[in-house]
Structure 1
Amino acid sequence: MSSTTEQAPDRPAAAAAPNPAPAGRSWRGVRAQLVRLHFYAGVFAAPFLLIAALTGLAYTFTPQLDQAVYGDQLRVEKVGEAPLPLAQQIAAARSAHPEGTLASVVTPAGPENTTRVVLSVPELGEKQRTVFVDPYTAKVQGELTTWWGSTPLTTWLDDLHRNLHLGEFGRLYSEVAASWLWVLVAGGLVLWIGRSRGQRAKSARGVLLPDRGARGVRRTRSWHAATGVWLALGLFFLSATGLTWSHYAGDRFGQLLDAVKGHPPELDPLLPGAQPPAEDEGGEHAGHAGHGAAEESAKVDPAGFEAALAVARKAGLGGTVSVTPPENASSAWVVAQNDNTWPVHYDKVAVDTAKGEVTSHTRWADYPALAKLSKLGVQGHMGVLFGIVNQIVLAAVAIGLTLVTVWGYRMWWQRRPTREDRKAAFGKAPARGTWRQLPPVVLVVGVPAVVALGWALPVLGGTLLGFVVVDVAVGLVKRSRTA
């Protein structure tokens, strides 16, 4: 649950004001510290969460938006009886677009979809030119500048959600949101479920449903908290999966995968008996063939795509696949499944078309558990794992997070003093110094845990440290003025 919470929940809004922390160390100090953390974390992180929720909501429905905007390229006009050979479709694409080199060919996801012939064009940098071909007539239906298979619209919305089109600097916004989201949710749950006043807190109904009989700030708080309870699982999921591919926390996650050997198995693209190519002849990332091996890709016979696909089909690779030509004379063809909807299919094979055999094979079943969870988490975060159901759930969570954030700020506004001699735009913040009321065991266990957490999530640790420094400085200034 993001944004703010009130310090004195049962007072009228006009009189609400934070009480001084109780004297002596007790477990009441833990609640007081949570109130303070939840309040300031909400004020600081809520704008980032609101942006992430709105941009994520827009990104959720990119499959439908793509069909509406690029339907002429993505769909065939009339479904035929049987698709033409890949070689014929590739020849038609190359005739219309002879520029660049062949990077890969993606088979249609369904009978109404076009074949995608992907070209590496130097002036496009890391992006590609994708030519869409009717598999039944070999008619070229158009071309788009794509990024990892995403259309221009999807790429634009993806960049908006990840970095606000501000590049590496903009990625900090999304990492701040993901880093603080779970803290706000966990703190809000503890505060709402563990509140001691009133019988509603002791029943499931009091936790799961808002108090319709309440008025003012208490009514807003009940909607804020009860909605947060319903959203909690989804928000924890979005926070965790978002952090896995963030910049700084993502690096830490990569170190964890290294330590536990949790990376997916790697396909060996080298032909049996062949010598490994020099580094400047191309690496193992077959998906970018053409960038480092332009001459080799230019010599590729379109018939090789059909031969590689036939071998892969015999090896059990069904559904949508991407066929990538060899990067050099020592490498094999690579055919990889691209079925992201459950049940997923991510098998991959290296094919020697001269001998018509598979030289290397990686299977989804052989992925380590952590690699599987990471892959499925990303697909679920993007809304593609369970199709339209996944999209609806993500949309509901995004809308709910937006409402919770707005209600949090509304609580802060409702708690403002309204007397003529005490008017203010917002309510007062919770009292400082609550850490002095924490039991010793909480400090002994909590401080090392926070330090470890700050290392694992550097953006969370850095922003928390910044808050502590500012808070201490403000306290010193106030103390000197009082003195």
Structure 2
Amino acid sequence: MLAPNINAAAATSEDDVIAHRRTLWRWHFYAGLFVMPLLIVLAVTGTIYCFQPQIEPLLYRDRMVVADTHGERLSTDVLLAKAAASEPRGAVPTLAQIETDRTRSAEFVFRLPSGESESVYVNPYDGAVLGTLSVEHRLMKQVRELHRALLLDKTGALVMELAGCWTLVMIGTGIALWWPDRTIRRNGGVWLPRLALKGRAWWRDLHAVGGIWLAIGALFFVLSGLPWSGSWGKEFKALATSASLGYPKGAWGEAHVHSTAPGASAKAGDEHAMHGMQMKMDDLPLHQTPWAVGATTVPDSAGASASNPRIPIDDVIAIAAKNGVPDDYGIALPATPTGVYTVSYFPADPRAERTLHIDQYSGRVLSDIGYASYGRVAQWISYGTSLHMGRYFGLANQIVCAAISLGLTTLAITGFVMWMKRRPARTLGAPARPVKRPPMRAWRSALTLLGMIFPLMGATMLAVWCLDRLAFGTRRAAA
């Protein structure tokens, strides 16, 4: 009498498992369909940009590399004057890139009358101008913008942000689909693909096993990249700051940073600027700015007058060295009579990150923000950024990042092949919905939480759910 009930219970349990997997597969399919092409773009551009330190000197060797004559270098101000003399009338110097490597040229950035910026390279030994490069159109800048925004400005930035968020769904559902039952454990295909298989099964094993090996790396790339995104990243900065976990607030008396309030004349002459209209670090023409200080306010110099000359750049370099900033950093040059020299040091080790604002007339350090001044979240993000960019432990870090990126490209390709092999002609080929809707409360709660943390993604998840029902109605597959 009990056997039928036992069999019915077993069948119900099996139906639940099948319905559960079909639902996960459906979400994995939709996430992959959107993420797949963007993941290839992210992986390829990320790999290229990771090797920027090696690629650019090879591409632009005639401008970036010089012969070490073992002679004295000309002063930085003399080199800047040589660079300025080669630029068109109206060009304004905005940045001096400081590097002590004796085989590298001196680099200065100018804002041209057209509004674009241009790097000028000068031989530091004889002052010869070696050539120029467009800041906006140089290869690595284009690769970076393609990586962050598909070269589509704000629209592209939102698309890439969504790609990162949907990758989280793809990772979560992929791990759940891979999770082995007893049959899979006995037959293999868990940690190593079964290469003896043929056809779509071979591709599935390659995709599933490869995905589980790359899951942690993919998750790290997403979580370390999202704080830099255009929409959610800015909101996250604001939230982290309000909770005292992000970057220093940057206003005098509000942040635990070594800083000096500007003189009374600057306060009186620029009171409007002190009420929220001042320039932020992200507005400065620096090649790289630490995440933690991107939205901090740039202070003003005091004592601006025609009789008060600006201190030489070499003095700024000496002040930076005295304050522990040794090499390979940018100095944003003052753009106005009340502007400051801003030293931005963005090294491989985030613990050494420094931002100095220096009065252009007195040489006084108005603000000194270092890693110890960051909130806990900002410190984590600094480490994540360094690892994400392949900087933290040198060439080995670059190789690991490249391996993960290229592995993710392989996953996208294998997923595409699997889709093409199972997709009927002239149809989308989405996995059919199961007859029985499984409760899956944990998954629904997780997706809801994800949608709350990333509102833009939450809106797209709702849109996908609605479109799925409009396009496919209530058709369900037999369990």
Report if TM-score (shorter chain) is over 0.5.
yes
Q: 2:433, 2:475 within 8 Å by CA — same for their partners in 1?
A: no
What is the CA–CA distance in structure 1 between the aligned matches of 2:81 and 2:310, rounded to whole Å? 7
Alignment of 1:220 with 2:203, yes or no, is: yes
What is the CA–CA distance in structure 2 between the aligned matches of 1:388 and 1:26, rounded to whole Å? 49
What is the CA–CA distance in structure 2 between the aligned matches of 1:240 and 1:194, rounded to whole Å? 26
Quote the sequence identity (%). 28
Q: Which of 382, 388, 402 is equivalent to 1:375? A: 382
Q: 1:133, 1:140 within 8 Å by CA — same for their partners in 2?
A: yes
Q: Which residue of 2 aligns with 1:397?
A: 404
Q: Which of 405, 408, 413 is equivalent to 2:415? A: 408
Q: Which residue of 2 aligns with 1:324?
A: 332
Alignment of 1:307 with 2:304, yes or no, is: no
SS for the counterpart of 2:60 is helix
Q: 1:42, 1:184 within 8 Å by CA — same for their partners in 2?
A: yes
What is the CA–CA distance in structure 2 between the aligned matches of 1:436 and 1:313, rounded to whole Å? 66
What is the CA–CA distance in structure 1 between the aligned matches of 2:420 and 2:239, rounded to whole Å? 43
Of stretches 244-253 and 277-286 in structure 1, the one that deviates more from structure 2 is 277-286
Deviations 1:274-312 (A, max 9, x none): 43325579824468679x99xx89999675212222222
Q: Which residue of 2 aligns with 1:42?
A: 32
Alignment of 1:140 with 2:148, yes or no, is: no
**AA at the equivalent of 2:372:** A
Q: TM-score, structure 1 length as denominator?
A: 0.78
What is the CA–CA distance in structure 2 between the aligned matches of 1:363 and 1:375, rounded to whole Å? 11
SS for the counterpart of 1:143 is strand
Q: Which of 245, 256, 263 is equivalent to 2:239? A: 256
What is the CA–CA distance in structure 1 between the aligned matches of 2:260 and 2:69, rounded to whole Å? 35
Of stretches 368-377 and 353-362 in structure 1, the one that deviates more from structure 2 is 353-362
Cα 1:298/1:455, change in 2 over 3 Å:
farther
SS for the counterpart of 1:175 is helix
List alignment gaps of at least 5 residues for structure 1.
Answer: 1-20, 417-422
Q: 1:210, 1:223 within 8 Å by CA — same for their partners in 2?
A: yes
Q: Which residue of 2 aligns with 1:182?
A: 168
What is the CA–CA distance in structure 1 between the aligned matches of 2:175 and 2:351, rounded to whole Å? 34
Q: Which residue of 2 aligns with 1:128?
A: 117
Deviation at 1:211, TM superposition (A): 0.9
Cα 1:338/1:412, change in 2 over 3 Å:
closer
Q: Which of 449, 453, 456 is equivalent to 1:456? A: 453
Q: Which residue of 2 aligns with 1:335?
A: 343
Q: 2:241, 2:247 within 8 Å by CA — same for their partners in 1?
A: no
What is the CA–CA distance in structure 2 between the aligned matches of 1:468 and 1:379, rounded to whole Å? 37
- Structure scoring higher RCO (CA < 8 A, sep ≥ 6) equals 1
Q: TM-score, structure 2 length as denominator?
A: 0.79
Deviation at 1:381, TM superposition (A): 2.9
Cα 1:473/1:239, change in 2 over 3 Å:
same
Q: 1:307, 1:353 within 8 Å by CA — same for their partners in 2?
A: no
Q: 1:93, 1:140 within 8 Å by CA — same for their partners in 2?
A: yes
Alignment of 1:88 with 2:78, yes or no, is: yes
Q: Which residue of 2 aligns with 1:208?
A: 191
Cα 1:177/1:289, change in 2 over 3 Å:
closer
Q: Which residue of 1 aligns with 2:395?
A: 388
SS for the counterpart of 1:197 is helix
Cα 1:214/1:363, change in 2 over 3 Å:
same
Equivalent pairs counted in the alignment come to 437
Cα 1:449/1:193, change in 2 over 3 Å:
closer
CA RMSD across the alignment? 3.5
Deviation at 1:379, TM superposition (A): 3.8
Q: Which residue of 2 aligns with 1:5?
A: none
**AA at the equivalent of 1:362:** I
Q: Which of 346, 350, 355 is equivalent to 2:357? A: 350
What is the CA–CA distance in structure 1 between the aligned matches of 2:436 and 2:265, rounded to whole Å? 65
What is the CA–CA distance in structure 1 between the aligned matches of 2:112 and 2:102, rounded to whole Å? 29
Alignment of 1:55 with 2:45, yes or no, is: yes
**AA at the equivalent of 1:458:** P
What is the CA–CA distance in structure 2 between the aligned matches of 1:110 and 1:324, rounded to whole Å? 20
Deviations 1:340-395 (A, max 9, x none): x2366321223346555433321122222211222333343333444433332222
Cα 1:470/1:289, change in 2 over 3 Å:
closer
Cα 1:452/1:198, change in 2 over 3 Å:
closer
SS for the counterpart of 1:436 is coil
Cα 1:382/1:307, change in 2 over 3 Å:
same
Q: 2:117, 2:134 within 8 Å by CA — same for their partners in 1?
A: yes
Q: Which residue of 1 aligns with 2:466?
A: 469
Deviations 1:10-66 (A, max 9, x none): xxxxxxxxxxx9689856643332122212322333222233333334433333332
Cα 1:253/1:316, change in 2 over 3 Å:
same
Q: Which residue of 2 aligns with 1:158?
A: 144
What is the CA–CA distance in structure 2 between the aligned matches of 1:109 and 1:376, rounded to whole Å? 25
